[in-house]
Amino acid sequence: MKATNEIKSFIKKQNSLDTLRFITCGSVDDGKSTLLGRMLYEAQLIFDDQVDNLVRDSKKMGTQDGEIDFALLVDGLAAEREQGITIDVAYRFFSTDNRKFIVADSPGHEQYTRNMVTAASNAEMAIILVDARNGIMPQTKRHSFIANLVGIKNIIVAINKMDLVNYDKQIFKKIVQSYKDNVLSKLNFQNIEFIPVSALAGDNIVTNSENMNWYSGRPLMTLLETLSIKDEINESFSLPIQYVNRPNLDF
């Protein structure tokens, strides 16, 4: 009876939570799939057998020299695993004690931009990833433009792979300023958060990283749990095809 009551209590609590639909986007190899996989792993939202499969698949077809490749949790297509890229949109549902989530992991390659548009048109928020080594790329601008065009007003700009630049605060600040000058100045997002992360190492994903004690903001999962969504998504949005194939946006 006690177990039954606990289950009922859990279901009741889950039903009372609001749902945030968001998308991960950005340039190719910025670490979108790795970020999502790390979030699920660190938040203990995957089962032990999934972890075992992940370890085995990482040794067989991963891109991290035998270490855990978190991208494999969401890169489900055989072609994606073989090439180490995301082709289709991978949807995942998960929940925490404070919120439920539906996340779309979108492809970064330019030729798969149409798939990103489909995912963005059903999202309330976007996590835009930037590789700390490369800074703002054309696809970063393109995905930001599309997210804004479909009506997304809430974004988190995650400067990823900070471990590969020695967790340098100045590099983070430089990329933030570049994004503000070259992207935000031409768009009209409302809620904007910047966060330095390492999806591979787990820095600033669930808890604040000791490697970046200069960052005084909240970790990524806390931001997702507490973000206030101001705008309803546009269910009927349809993006004109010329924007999907446009190679260089006028930023």
Average pLDDT of adjacent 10-residue blocks, the chain of 251 residues:
59 69 83 78 58 54 54 46 48 81 69 67 90 93 89 94 97 96 91 93 93 96 84 42 42 44
Residue 43 pLDDT = 64
Q: What is the DSSP string of 25-85?
A: EESTTS-HHHHHHHHHHHTT-S-HHHHHHHHHHHHHH-SSTTS--GGGGT--SHHHHHHTS
Say if CB 179 and CB 130 are below 8 A apart: yes
Provide the 10 A C-beta neighbour count for residue 248. Answer: 8
Strands (E) located in the chain: 19-26, 90-95, 100-105, 125-131, 154-160, 191-196
Residue 97 pLDDT = 82
User: Which residues make beta-bridge pairs with 126?
Assistant: 23, 155
Residue 245 pLDDT = 41
Residue 181 pLDDT = 94
Three-state secondary structure call for residue 134: coil
Residue 35 pLDDT = 85
Question: Taking CA 91 as the corner, what is the angle to CA 188 and CA 11, rounded to the nearest 5 degrees?
Answer: 105
| pTM beyond cutoff 0.85 | no
Residue 160 pLDDT = 96
Nearby residues of 100 by Cβ (< 8 Å), 6 or more positions away: 14, 17, 18, 19, 20, 93, 94
Write out pLDDT tens, residues 60-107: 555 555 555 555 555 443 333 344 444 456 677 778 888 888 888 766
Nearby residues of 39 by Cβ (< 8 Å), 6 or more positions away: 45, 205, 206, 220, 221
Question: Helices 138-149 and 113-120 meet at what angle, rounded to 10?
Answer: 40
Residue 99 pLDDT = 86
> Pairing between strand 191-196 and 154-160?
parallel
Tokens of 154: 């809430």
Q: Among candidates 55, 152, 42, which has minimal Cα distance to 104?
A: 152
